[in-house]
A and B are shown apart, each in its own frame.
Chain A
Amino acid sequence: EAQVTQNPRYLITVTGKKLTVTCSQNMNHEYMSWYRQDPGLGLRQIYYSMNVEVTDKGDVPEGYKVSRKEKRNFPLILESPSPNQTSLYFCASTTRGLAGGREQFFGPGTRLTVL
């Protein structure tokens, strides 16, 4: 089954404690992205990757890091989480960039709470 998986699905942590949210896709997609979703703000792109070892900032990259060492994985790293990073996070993948818009798949989401 074609899918994007994220782990963990729920996480409660404390300020300053480094964490990683994993994202994996089994569709051999080149493009992967991370979004955060907040009430009244919709989804905002954090980072995206157009292929292995190619990453770039989205609209709200501050406080986040990503890596793309393998095609299937695109982890999101919070080196020193802060309460304003409490949010619902989605990973997405697609092939051929936006030309393949109908093939954009989103993961199930990770609910992060930073105390």
Chain B
Amino acid sequence: GESVGLHLPTLSVQEGDNSIINCAYSNSASDYFIWYKQESGKGPQFIIDIRSNMDKRQGQRVTVLLNKTVKHLSLQIAATQPGDSAVYFCAEAITGGGNKLTFGTGTQLKVEL
């Protein structure tokens, strides 16, 4: 499949453990944030989003935390599975600012059996 990037930060976790992927965003005016998962050879796939009026949002096995004070976003994956191995990107946007997403550089998650 396609290589999505070289020299990405890498997080290695054991199957069944929880994973925490971090992201620092750049624009204090951003009010909408999304986490994407990108598997080898595929386009990014939506995981979960959060608006700036929230500091936590939960999905199925995933939780996103937002700390606007330090412009930090994290994605927590519970009970990590081999199928979670991928590159994870955060993206920030300003609602009403067209359709412009600004992506982070990504983190490679490797799940060890």
Contacts and interface: CB of A to CB of B under 8 A. Distances in A.
Interface of A: 4, 31, 33, 35, 37-45, 48, 50, 56, 58-59, 88, 90, 92, 94, 97-99, 101-104, 106-109, 111
Give the interface SS of chain A, mostly helix, strand, loop or mixed.
strand
A88 B4 contact: yes
A106 B44 contact: yes
A109 B43 contact: yes
Contacts, number: 82
A6 to B, nearest CB: 9
B62 to A, nearest CB: 13
4 tightest Cβ-Cβ pairs between the two chains A and B: A106-B43, A42-B103, A39-B6, A43-B103
A98 B46 contact: no
Contacts of A106: 43-45
B44 A43 contact: yes
Given A37-B4, A38-B5, 4 more contacts: A48-B98, A88-B4, A101-B34, A101-B46
Give the interface SS of chain B, mostly helix, strand, loop or mixed.
loop
Nearest to B1: A109
Contacts of B3: 39
A42 B105 contact: yes
Contacts of A50: 98-99
Interface string B80-113: 0000000001010101011111111110000000
Contacts of A37: 4-5
